[in-house]
Structure formats: C-alpha cells, structure tokens
Amino acid sequence: MSQDVCVIVPTIREYECVRSYVANAENHGFDTGRLEFVLVTEDHCPTEEMEAMLDDLGVAGEVFDGSRREAWLDDHGVGDYTHLIPARSHAQTSFGLLYLWAHDHPYGVFIDDDTRPHDGVDFFGTHLDNLTAERTVESVQSDENWVNVLYHTADEHGLYPRGYPYAAMDETVETGEREVDDVVASQGLWTNVPDLDAVRILMDGDLQGQAETRLTADDFGPDFVAEPGHYLTVCSMNLGFKREVVPAFYQLPMDDNEWSVGRFDDIWSGVFLKRAADVLGTDVLTGDPLCRHDKAPRSTFDDLHNEVAGLELNEHLWTLIDDAGADADTYAGVFEAMADALIDAEADYRNGDFLAFVGEHMHDWLACLDELQSAERAVPADD
C-alpha cells in the first residue's frame, strides 16, 4: 500500500519520539510503508540528525526548518503565503497540512514530541479504525454547550483541559448513545501529565508547567462524540483526521502577532472544525488511542504570560461562530463563513482586533489551498 498517512510532528527537542511510534506500528503489525513523516522544526535544530533517524528507521519522510519551508512554498507556487506559518510557534503544524494537501494523503496524524504511545495500543491502527468504522458510541452534551473531554472522572480529579472556557465550568452532563458512520477527526487523549492551561496548573499547585494531578488509563471511559451544537477542546498532540477537513483546520497565526496571542492554535482550530463538522453532519470522536504525555518541566508563569493575551477571547470565540455557515455544504464554505463572522464581529474584548486578523488569515488559508491544489494539478505526469 502506498503512503496514505501523513504524520506531522512539530519538534525542536525530542524528535526521537518518532522511533517509539514506528516501533509501536511494527509491534502491532501496522504497515509502516503507509506512513510519511513530516518533521516541522526550526533553523537552529539538528535537521541532518533528524533525516538520518528517518533513514535509519526505513520510513518515508522529510524535515522542514524555516528555510526549507519557505523554499517549499516557493517551489509549489504559494510563496506569497509564508505569513500563514507563524515563526517560533506550535502553529507551524499548518505547514504539515499544506504538505498533506499537496501530496494527496487521505489521512493525517498530529503527534507532539513529548508524547509516547502505550505499548499495548495499536496507535496508528486505532486512529485509522476510528476514521473508517461505523459503530455505536457514547454521545455527550451539557447545559453549557461544552463537553469536558475529561468528564468521565471529573468528579474525582476536578480537571478541565486547556482551552475549556471558564464560564462553561460546573456544567451538567447528559450522556446517551449514537451511531457514527462519518468520523472526520479522531482525538486520542493522554495519560500522565494532563493538558491544562497555566491558570489551572497553578490551581492544581504546580509551578513547573505540569500538574500535581496525574492521569492513568483508568481515568478515561469509552470513546465519545459531543452532540451537534456542543463544543469540546481539541488537542493536537494526539490527533488523526481526514484530508477533507484541512480547509477548516488551519492552525492559525498564533504567537507571532502584535497582540502576543498564543497557545490557542489547536483549541480554536478545534472549535472551527467542530462547527464545520456539525454543519456537514460529521463527527469528532474522542478517546482512544491514549498516549503518554511527558511534558518537560518549565515555568508555569511563562505559560501564563503566553496565554493571558487570549484568555478573554477564548471565552467568546465559540459564540461568534456558533451560527456561521449553516447553509454551506463544504468545509471550505463553513470556514469562509466563520472567517467573515470574526472579521465582522463587534469584539469589545481585550485584544479583540486579533479576531479580525485571524479571519483575514483564514481567508488567505483557503486561497492558498486553492492555489496549491491548482499548481499541483498543473504539473505534468512523468513519461
């Protein structure tokens, strides 16, 4: 089988994580020939060592630092869109989405370099099964229109994940069952260090950017979907998805902007994806495969500094796009409508002008995908 899964790994430190994921695939009989790795890194990082690792593992892949990303965009006729990929930001994963789009991969997987797969879980196989199977799963909703992805044991640990609006806490949860037959994103959750924002880490009593509370597999229940009209946090450290969602899954111009808004790339893109999925009748499945999150110690106050500029915006973003694109019939159509909603919003919030900046970049994202696809289709086949 040809390479049909584009594995996107943003990394500046622990690129050797790839070895663990390749070993997991081999141990579970998943064909590593299906995988193409895209390592997204920086100019100061050891790109030659990263390439040597991929060669040693015998897997397809490329390594892109800042210079190589710019060259790739120029070579593919979209050099005018370098501003879509912010400098020194986790949101550079958007470049991986462009690579996937240009190379026609039907599936993508995001992996963060501070994660490792669980030995007993077929990591890639589970994500692909989630994206292709038809089955009955738990369905969840709440009276706040938000679902805490840690809800199964929230009464015991009291945690809410990074990006969950503070105003939506203390929700009443209602569960049921529903058939799913078109899952477009498979969100795997995480044991060990939970994915919390800085305020919640401080409330948990940790000053090193991690958490005093740790999670095990026993803290999670069955896979679930949030009902239409109900949002959830989407974390890209362990996430599979279908190619079709890429137009609505831009990771946004975070960190590298005049308002210093950062750390909400996957959170906000997840809100946009969930709205688009609701409009189009598809689903975001959350649960397995679990990964182990080994977040390195760092100052909680540094994270707080990086997050505070966007905290108020995060409380309101979902309400601004909640009715956008209702008549659209494509992911691009819903995304365009959400972009317009942000540009037109009367955003009387701290750093509210950033929302229009995001909306403008969302339009540029769609234009870039159109031009990239046109350029790729224009390349003649080899004789």
DSSP 288-334: EEEEEE-PPP--HHHHHHHHHHHHHHHHHHHHHHTTTTTT--SHHHH
Amino acid sitting at position 159:
L
Domain ranges of the chain: 5-378
What DSSP element (H or E) covers 340? helix 331-344
Residue 232, token pair as written in the block:
């959830």
Matching residue, tokens 């790839």: 18
Beta-bridge mates of residue 177: 138
Give the pLDDT of residue 381: 46
Give the pLDDT of residue 382: 46
pLDDT value at 248 more than 80: yes
Mean pLDDT of the chain: 96
Q: Average of pLDDT values for 221-228?
A: 98
pLDDT value at 376 more than 80: no
Residue 348, token pair as written in the block:
């009387």
pLDDT tens digit sequence for 302-360:
999 999 999 999 999 999 999 999 999 999 999 999 999 999 999 899 999 999 999 99
pTM metric for this prediction? 0.96
E strands within the chain? 5-10, 35-40, 60-64, 107-111, 115-117, 135-142, 146-147, 173-180, 183-192, 224-226, 231-232, 238-242, 283-293
pLDDT tens digit sequence for 127-178:
999 999 999 999 999 999 999 999 999 999 999 999 999 999 999 999 999 9
Give the pLDDT of residue 1: 57
pLDDT value at 99 more than 80: yes
Give the pLDDT of residue 378: 60
